[in-house]
Amino acid sequence: MARSRVAILIMGVVLWCCLTTPAKAEYMKYKDPKQPIPVRIQDLLDRMTLEEKIGQMVQIERKVASADVMKEYFIGSVLSAGGSVPAPQASAETWINMVNDFQRGSLSTRLGIPMIYGIDSVHGNNNVYKATIFPHNIGLGASRDPELVNKIGAATALETRATGIPYAFAPCIAVCRDPRWGRCYESYSEDPQIVKDMTDIIPGLQGNVPTDSPKGVPFVAGKNNVVACSKHYVGDGGTTKGINENNTVIDWQGLLSIHMPAYHTSIMKGVSTVMISYSSWNGIKMHANRELITGFLKNTLGFKGFVISDWEGLDRITYPPHANYSYSIQAGIHAGIDMVMVPYNYKEFIDGLTFHVKNNVIPMSRIDDAVRRILRVKFVMGLFENPLADNSLVDQLGSQEHRELAREAVRKSLVLLKNGQSLNRPLLPLPKKTSKILVAGSHADNLGYQCGGWTIEWQGFNGNNRTIGTTIVAAIKNTIDPSTNVVFKENPNAEFVKSNNFSYAIVVVGEHPYAETDGDSMNLTIADPGPTTIRNVCGALKCVVIIISGRPVVIEPYLASIDALVAAWLPGTEGQGVADVVFGDYGFTGKLPRTWFKTVDQLPMNVGDPHYDPLYPFGFGITTEPTTRQSDDNPFLSISSYFN
């Protein structure tokens, strides 16, 4: 009896040991970084349910995201819309904590597929307090400097990663053919060649593609780089009258020669994602255009990354938007869109797409293609190995090195359109040492105005208290001789100007910030009271007018009274770059990236058009040499004016 009790006891101990000893974890190829990426993709895809696959195709806005939502719906991506931040003036650490919180929800799912967080870093990490704000693309186009743009891409990647974000919705490679378009400042040029050249920002953002990398395969070098996104495919800059999201009427050859070249170049440089345009091509919504998305982008150009919709892009396939969402889901996914920027009604999208798949309206092969592309980017960028952000790059946000780079970009973006009332009496560069100077204009002391749209808020901001930077009037005061008296008056009347014995005046005026449709304009005028300021000041003094704008604006009526005219575009936070050139520490080198019209009645008007009769032609820009001149005793400076 005792012997049998012992035997039972031994068997119990053995059984307990068996139950409590952990089973050897199953080897999962997709978790092994030593496995080839195609093997990892296929292994993971084979394990995924339909629910998990569709979740990967969903991108939601941070306001509706949480760790629980990420886990329950297997969400593949989260984004910050313009101005959508975890807290006002949030620190880099606050951003990182938010992103990681969402990520932990994703990692807690059955398969632990990490989500990818995206943001519109279109001229620096521009949603984020204290970030370096670079000139908008139109200014970079004026620089004609792809190497500079590459460096800006690398700096933007570091500042975006500094906040824990690995995906930037940039660059915009639109070819703006009509400045009435509210996104024209997001376009480098009206010339497709310049836009192609500026795709050098992609290897800046993502890293340089290895020479042996297959064509069309996305590439991200590592944790100091981000996933880039060429947008908006295709023809967004060619809409009728420049109306945002409208119809681009152009034949196939025109589309290929004007709007398509930069996409081919982007793919050659390893761009990881492409965003679809709201606009239509000859009446067909791009979000529903299977011929151009699947047929041309994926099959002909060989793009192997993922295609993402724009914000509520599927909704806008119909008019009014969301009128038949079931149809929109079918049309968009069938066209070849892989990830959908939903961004709020994710349950409706998930239910709708699930219904279409289960009813064989959308084949599983289309879902698998989408998920395979999304997983490819996530594996390539190392997201599975490094899903959580750390604080190692927080010091990159708004670093002095990046601010110096932005200041250089400002200098190179400035275009001198007029310099003196006669060729042999140039006004610029201005003397630093003189008795008293007037600085005037609504844009002279306004950081928000000089940054433009897509800065802190989607539509930009007004004033100096929303982020850190140097206004143009502060830059002037930093630059002039200490003995020179600088008087700033935003909108002086004529009597004030005449009675103060100023040596000269600097007038800084232009457009108020805007983004997208809010920027569409049929008149392209300088914002009030800008014209009055020009008349009051330039009617009485030698004056330099600096235009802060996202495009050419109406200037011809005031030109005769203006002694010197500078197009400064939207320079960003580093206004010191303007003073560097205006006072001669550096020369003017910028060239017009687009045609400056006489009147809006001429539009659209691009270089090469039969009716081409500009105020200043494409490629125009007066160049000057740096000078050490410190007083107004010797105003003469040799200059040259030439075209590209």
pLDDT tens-digit map of 608-621: 999 999 999 999 99
pLDDT for residue 321: 98
pLDDT for residue 245: 98
Looking at the fold, whether 446 and 474 belong to one and the same domain comes out as yes
Looking at the fold, whether 177 and 293 belong to one and the same domain comes out as yes
Model pLDDT for residues 416-452, shown as the tens digit of each residue: 999 999 888 999 999 999 999 999 999 999 999 999 9
Q: Which domain holds residue 444?
A: 400-616
Task: Write down which residue in 388, 415, 434 finishes a domain.
Answer: 388
pLDDT for residue 423: 80
Looking at the fold, whether 305 and 422 belong to one and the same domain comes out as no
pLDDT for residue 23: 55
Has residue 39 been placed in a domain? no
Task: Write down which residue in 388, 420, 442 finishes a domain.
Answer: 388
Looking at the fold, whether 305 and 407 belong to one and the same domain comes out as no
* Backbone φ and ψ of 568, nearest 5°: -105, 0
Average pLDDT over residues 617-643: 65
Model pLDDT for residues 346-401, shown as the tens digit of each residue: 999 999 999 999 999 999 999 999 999 999 999 999 999 999 999 999 999 999 99
Has residue 632 been placed in a domain? no
Looking at the fold, whether 406 and 512 belong to one and the same domain comes out as yes
Looking at the fold, whether 382 and 456 belong to one and the same domain comes out as no
Looking at the fold, whether 383 and 404 belong to one and the same domain comes out as no
* Backbone φ and ψ of 504, nearest 5°: -165, 175
Band (pLDDT 50/70/90 cuts) for residue 19 is very low
Looking at the fold, whether 174 and 294 belong to one and the same domain comes out as yes
Neighbouring residues of 180: CB distance < 8 A, sequence distance ≥ 6: 241, 242, 243, 520, 521, 522, 524, 600, 603
Looking at the fold, whether 508 and 599 belong to one and the same domain comes out as yes
pLDDT for residue 25: 78
pLDDT at 551 over 70: yes
Respond yes or no on whether the N-terminal peptide bond of residue 356 is cis (omega within 30° of 0).
no
Has residue 568 been placed in a domain? yes
pLDDT for residue 26: 87
Kindly report the pTM of this predicted structure.
0.95
Q: Quick one: CA dihedral 580, 200, 570, 228, positive or negative?
A: negative
Band (pLDDT 50/70/90 cuts) for residue 636 is very low
Band (pLDDT 50/70/90 cuts) for residue 330 is very high
Say which of 236, 310, 520, 574 is annotated catalytic.
310
pLDDT for residue 1: 47
Neighbouring residues of 229: CB distance < 8 A, sequence distance ≥ 6: 118, 167, 168, 169, 170, 171, 271, 272, 273, 274, 275, 308
pLDDT at 632 over 60: no
Has residue 64 been placed in a domain? yes
357 touches 367 (CB < 8 A):
yes
Model pLDDT for residues 478-514, shown as the tens digit of each residue: 999 999 999 999 999 999 999 999 999 999 999 999 9
Has residue 19 been placed in a domain? no
Strand pairing class (116-119; 77-80)? parallel
CATH number of domain containing 94: 3.20.20.300
pLDDT for residue 22: 52
Total tally of structural domains belonging to the chain = 2
Task: Write down which residue in 388, 422, 457 finishes a domain.
Answer: 388
Band (pLDDT 50/70/90 cuts) for residue 198 is very high
435 touches 487 (CB < 8 A):
no
Say which of 200, 516, 574, 580 is annotated catalytic.
516
State the SS3 of 180-216: CCCCHHHCCECCHHHHHHHHHHHHHHHCCCCCCCCCC
Average pLDDT over residues 538-546: 97
Query: Is residue 570 classed exposed, middle or buried when 0-12, 13-18 and 19+ CB atoms within 10 A define those classes?
Result: buried
CATH number of domain containing 472: 3.40.50.1700
Does residue 404 carry a catalytic annotation? no
**Torsion angle defined by CA atoms of residues 359, 365, 370 and 375, in that order, rounded to the nearest 10 degrees:** 120
pLDDT for residue 24: 66
Q: State the residue for tokens 């993502």.
A: 206
Average pLDDT over residues 172-198: 99
Does residue 43 carry a catalytic annotation? no
Looking at the fold, whether 440 and 525 belong to one and the same domain comes out as yes
Band (pLDDT 50/70/90 cuts) for residue 644 is very low
Has residue 196 been placed in a domain? yes
Respond yes or no on whether the N-terminal peptide bond of residue 604 is cis (omega within 30° of 0).
yes
pLDDT at 188 over 50: yes
pLDDT at 528 over 90: yes
Looking at the fold, whether 327 and 411 belong to one and the same domain comes out as no
Has residue 639 been placed in a domain? no
Looking at the fold, whether 328 and 435 belong to one and the same domain comes out as no
Q: Quick one: CA dihedral 380, 386, 392, 393, positive or negative?
A: positive
pLDDT at 155 over 50: yes
Has residue 9 been placed in a domain? no
Q: State the residue for tokens 């330039």.
A: 538
pLDDT at 14 over 80: no
DSSP 396: G
pLDDT for residue 325: 98
Band (pLDDT 50/70/90 cuts) for residue 17 is very low
